[in-house]
Amino acid sequence: MNFLEFFVWGSWLISLGGYMIISLKFTGAQVGSIYGTMGVASLFMPALLGIVADRWINAERVLGVCHLIGACMLLWASTVKDAGTMYVVMLLNSMVYMPTIALNNAVSYSVLKKAELDVVKIFPPIRVWGTVGFIAAMWVIDWQQWTLSPLQLYVSAGAGFFLGLYAFTMPACPPVKNSAKQKNLLSSLGLDAFVLFKRKKMAVFFIFAMLLGAALQITNTFGGTFLEDFKHDYAESFGVKHPNLLLSISQISETLFILTIPFFLTRFGIKRVMLISIFAWVFRFGFFAIGNPGNGLILLVLSMIIYGMAFDFFNISGSLFVEQEADKRIMASAQGLFMLMTNGVGAFFGGMLSGLVVDYFTTNGVRNWPSIWYSFAGYALLLGIIFPFVFSDTTRQKTEL
């Protein structure tokens, strides 16, 4: 399940932009808005479908239906030639795909708990297969030279159809029945997960999850463009000739750091793990600022490696923290809320504000990448300075593995 979940995404996320710009002749603004549909959909769909899974329909069935619909949208997208229609189709696809990331976690947690397994110990090695799936998809598309072809969407749709059908064969993850009468409006509307904001610890956690989600969007939006801009000075370098392979080191790093999460989370708690993630983003952006595909290639590679820590230590650890803190009756909607804050609000504002920073440091079409990346590193550094003073986790586990 985890392998296919991210194979679907990896088949097009990195290469669709080039297909739209070069093959379909879309403008950069049009491509940016189409990629922005993921942030728009994440503002409400993960939480909404999380509520559905918590209250009415088995989580694995919601997951399956979403992937079947998403596969249809991707097949439709493969036939689209104009930007307006592509925006609508990819928005519809995002509305059914983005919730599946949280649903994937909710189903995993439910199955592991039914088997009476330790979620913190067992889930990270399972989740690592999602990153393996993402890398496998990137390499398949590159090796087959489909990066500028609609065939990448066929590959993604095929994986989506398979996962959609497979989901219906997985162990049942039914809604948790609440025998107590629902007495307040919040519960009646199914917005239970938002009560987590009443707890200061969780409110601060979700705010910083949003701010780190913005950092992730910066990388997704401008990492490829950054490497492409070296074509004039380093045309024969590995980083310019194979930018996707260089970027895939980030995902390979994820697979390694995911396996370290049980060690770090159990021994140090979510506060220190989040702080490590924040400062990893500082180094991620800082190495980009001083690296290049020539004699500075090692710095770019180091940036890709440290990305695994930056991403996993807030994304995967954060999801596990939410699972531990949320009531079991709102588990799916709590995961949806986490997705809303990171891939929704965070991604939306991260894309918008980072675009302004890039434009500010662009003169006559030439982007001053060192200044751009130093600005982003400064942003992460500011988060790292503030976070220890405002977040308190007094209940962290101290049990050793």
Distances (CA, A) of 138 to 35, 52, 230, 316: 17, 32, 21, 21
- Beta-carbon contacts of 320 under 8 Å, excluding residues fewer than 6 positions away, are 119, 120, 123, 261, 265
Quick count: other Cβ atoms within 10 Å of Cβ 122? 15
Using the structure block, give the residue that is written with the tokens 């496998």.
Answer: 136
Tell me: the pLDDT tens digits for 62-112? 999 999 999 999 999 999 999 999 999 999 999 999 889 888 888 888 888
Euclidean distance between CA atoms 314 and 178, whole angstroms: 31
Mean pLDDT of the region 143-161: 92
- What are the angstrom distances between the C-alpha of 110 and each of 107, 119, 167, 364? 5, 9, 14, 54
Contacts of 89 by beta carbon, 8 Å cutoff, 6+ apart = 73, 76, 77, 80
Percent of residues, the chain, with pLDDT higher than 90: 33
Amino acid at 54: D
What is the fold, at CATH topology level, of the domain defined by 191-401? Growth Hormone; Chain: A; (1.20.1250)
Percent of the chain with pLDDT over 70: 92
- The whole-number pLDDT of residue 346 equals 84
Which letter does DSSP use for residue 175 in this model?
Answer: P
**Per-residue pLDDT tens digits for 181-214:** 444 444 434 456 777 888 888 899 999 989 988 8
SS3 58: coil
Q: How far is it, in rounded angstroms, from Cα 202 to Cα 25? A: 45
Q: What residue ranges of the chain are covered by domains with CATH 1.20.1250.20?
A: 1-172, 191-401
C-alpha angle 103/259/201, rounded to 5°? Answer: 60
Least confident of 75-89, 121-135, 250-264, 385-399: 385-399
Query: What fold does the segment set 1-172 form as a domain?
Result: Growth Hormone; Chain: A; (1.20.1250)
Which pLDDT belongs to residue 193? 74
Residue 133 has pLDDT above 50, yes or no: yes
Distance from CA of residue 252 to its chain's centroid? 15
236-245 pLDDT tens trace: 887 777 777 7
pLDDT digits (tens, 9 = 90+) for 295-343: 899 999 999 999 999 988 888 888 888 888 887 777 767 777 887 788 7
Query: Phi/psi of residue 24, each to 5°?
Result: -95, -10
What does the pLDDT read at residue 185?
42
pLDDT confidence band for 177 (50 / 70 / 90): low
- Placement of tokens 């110990």 in the chain: 121
Using the predicted structure, report yes or no on whether residue 385 has a pLDDT greater than 70: yes
The confidence score (pLDDT) of residue 28 equals 62
Question: Can you tell me the mean pLDDT for 162-188?
Answer: 70
Q: Work out whether the CA dihedral 67, 113, 340, 184 comes out positive or negative.
A: positive
